[in-house]
Amino acid sequence: MSAIALTGLTKRFGSVVAVDDLNLDVHNGELVALLGPSGCGKTTTLRLIAGFELPDAGEIDFDDRRVTELQPERRNIGMVFQNYALFPHMTVAENVAFGLEMRKEATPTIRSRVTTTLAKVQLTGLEGRYPRQLSGGQQQRAALARALVVAPDVLLLDEPLANLDAKLREEMRFYVRSLQQEVGITTIYVTHDQAEAMVIADRIAVMFNGKIHQLAAPQEIYNRPHTWMVAEFIGLTNFIEGNIVGREGRLFVIDTAIGTLRCEGATTVTDAKPERLIAVRPEAIQLSQRAGGGPRSSDPTMNRLQGVVRARAFLGNLVDYRVEVASGVVLRVQGDPHAPLAVDDAVEAAFQPRSTWSVPAREERVR
């Protein structure tokens, strides 16, 4: 087990910069998910760590072992591919034994380690099967066994669940996580599925255009996005444009087209430019009939907007509303399915400053 350090890693394909001066530290035994849309450079980053590509600049270290230029077979990695890449002409046992054979282990050692590892992934009894005779989930576990049996320093997973059906994928998330915890191996997990990253990762690195926009725990990524791209990529977000006009303690006072709003925001990057984008999650907004005005109205910092329900969709565990709070400005609100609100009802949309977050506006070049 080793910590992974990427320093100034850069990879170009022709004129395209796939990985752009990327820095990342993964602690020993930690699982970091590289999350981003396709083409953001997450898979290239993984292939650089695996040694399938060589970087144009930067360094890769496993603990104090510099592997930047090393051949893949000398890095002591375990890798699971999106399509598993099991060797079709070898049985499950032969697949799992392959890495140990390459390390010239003695035959009895190989046999016992293959048996133990297959037991760990619950494939005992399927040793003699060929990959094509396994279900998707079994192939997945065979691929994990093959990667883990060699006791690699780091485990690299490239969209390992993408080819499974939805239900199995959800189960496997927890399975992969518990297996990783059990083995305690430093892991980098590439995915474009935010829910998967949330469930599985200690920290998530959200990538766009070859850069990491934010590296943080899932909760922080969701509630305190650093850039509008992160906010937009993770979950549903209402964006409201505005300008900072003042401060009230930790809160920004922001002037917007639909009124003056108070919200939290990252202070470190902000003060230079007043243009902000307020991000409000649909579930952070509470709707009430306008006439009422309950006990919450006593809180003066609460953001209140008057609007009309334009659409309502029942989703089972919640209801999805579109509320027009100003001409042409529609907020998405998700809330209680039992609330007696109908289309064309006049409502008050209220949200706490601490459940909002402002990020630098789109125009600004995000670092």
Task: Single out the residue of 71, 298, 317, 327 in contact with another protein (rule: CB under 8 A).
Answer: 71
**Is residue 185 part of the contact set for another protein (CB under 8 A)?**
no
* DSSP state at residue 245: E
Range 27-56, binding another protein (CB under 8 A): 50-52
Task: Single out the residue of 15, 64, 88, 314 in contact with another protein (rule: CB under 8 A).
Answer: 88
**Is residue 13 part of the contact set for another protein (CB under 8 A)?**
no
**Is residue 65 part of the contact set for another protein (CB under 8 A)?**
no
Check the CA dihedral 158-162-164-167 and report its sign: positive
**Residue where the block lists tokens 């125009």:** 363
Q: What does the chain come to in residues?
A: 367
Site string for another protein, 260-279 (x = CB under 8 A): --------------------
Task: Single out the residue of 23, 83, 109, 260 in contact with another protein (rule: CB under 8 A).
Answer: 83
**Is residue 72 part of the contact set for another protein (CB under 8 A)?**
yes
Q: Which segment (29-37, 82-90, 171-179, 247-255) binds another protein by CB under 8 A? A: 82-90
In the chain, the N- to C-terminal Cα span, in Å, equals: 32
Site string for another protein, 97-136 (x = CB under 8 A): -xx--xx--------------------------x-x----
Q: Which segment (66-74, 240-248, 253-261, 286-294) binds another protein by CB under 8 A? A: 66-74
Write b or e for each residue in 274-289: b if 16 or more Cβ atoms lie within 10 A of its Cβ, otherwise e: eebbbbbbbebbbbbe
Name the residue type at position 36.
G
Task: Single out the residue of 11, 42, 113, 146 in contact with another protein (rule: CB under 8 A).
Answer: 146
The smaller minimum CB distance to another protein, of residues 41 and 78, is found at: 78
> Shortest Cβ distance from residue 4 to another protein (Å)?
15
Long-range contacts of 246-252 (CB under 8 A, 24+ apart): 248/301, 251/301, 251/353, 252/276, 252/358
* Cα separation, 254 vs 261, whole angstroms: 5
Rg (CA), the chain: 25
Helix axes 107-120, 136-148, angle to 10 degrees: 130
> Shortest Cβ distance from residue 115 to another protein (Å)?
18
Q: Is 132 exposed, middle or buried (0-12, 13-18, 19+ CB in 10 A)?
A: exposed
Binding site for another protein (CB under 8 A): 50-52, 71-73, 75-79, 81, 83, 85-91, 98-99, 102-103, 130, 132, 146-147, 150, 156
